[in-house]
Amino acid sequence: MIPILRWLSFVWLSLPLTTQPALADDTEGDGWEDESGWEDLDDHPKPQPDTRPMVMGPHLLPPGDLGLRFSAGMQYFNAGDMARSRPLLEEACRRVPDSVPFAIDLCKILFEAKDYDGLQRVATPFYRDKKNYEFAQYLGDSAQALGRYGEAIDFYKDYLTYFGTNLLVLNAMGDCYVKTGDLAGAITVWRRSLDLNANQPELKKKLADVQDKIKIQESR
């Protein structure tokens, strides 16, 4: 009987929240608070918060049902509740340490939490030992946030080599080039980005500023 109840709970959590009726009695008093919005961090796209409450609190989730707990963790993440989401995703990664999907989702959470060192600890083994370059962007983003700009450029280069053009990666790489003093490198990648999408007014301004700076240096 218990396995059936767990399966029904998993199916219930898997349904889109818009199809689930509100369960005021089940969720009342569990400490859930609606989130009013989500603040953008740099240029990285973020999932929109879902203000509907969770069906089950983490204290009610069966400890042995990893799939159910992972699904709950991602629902909390999509709702912007990092405090509840992170422990569930960390548990999933501990129990299935070779899982790329679990590790990728944990990297997303760690970046949102600004735990850049923690992100690097999770992503590095996949990138270094297993040559999984899907983690290169996360490693680049975290290295850039930590001020390790040369390291970030190398990660971004690997990402572009294996996955092709990505405007966010190109633009971030240009910022890193500026930080390292390589203005010519910044111009190269930003021009490439604008060739792919000319509708980037802020990037055009940054490019013009860098070009003016080079002209001033050359005139001295």
pLDDT for position 64: 61
**Would the pTM count as exceeding 0.85?**
no
Model pLDDT, residue 11: 43
pLDDT of residue 63: 55
3-state secondary structure of 44: strand
The pair phi, psi for residue 86, each rounded to 5°, is -60, -45
CA-to-CA distance for 100 and 27, rounded, in angstroms? Answer: 32
pLDDT of amino acid 122: 96
Going 133 to 135 to 141 to 144, the CA torsion angle's sign is: negative
Note the pLDDT of residue 72.
Answer: 83
Contact 91, 65 (CB under 8 A): no
**What distance in Å separates the CA atoms of residue 20 and residue 160, rounded to the nearest whole number?**
41
Mean pLDDT per 10-residue segment, the chain (220 residues): 47 45 41 38 46 46 68 84 89 91 93 95 94 94 97 96 94 97 96 96 96 86
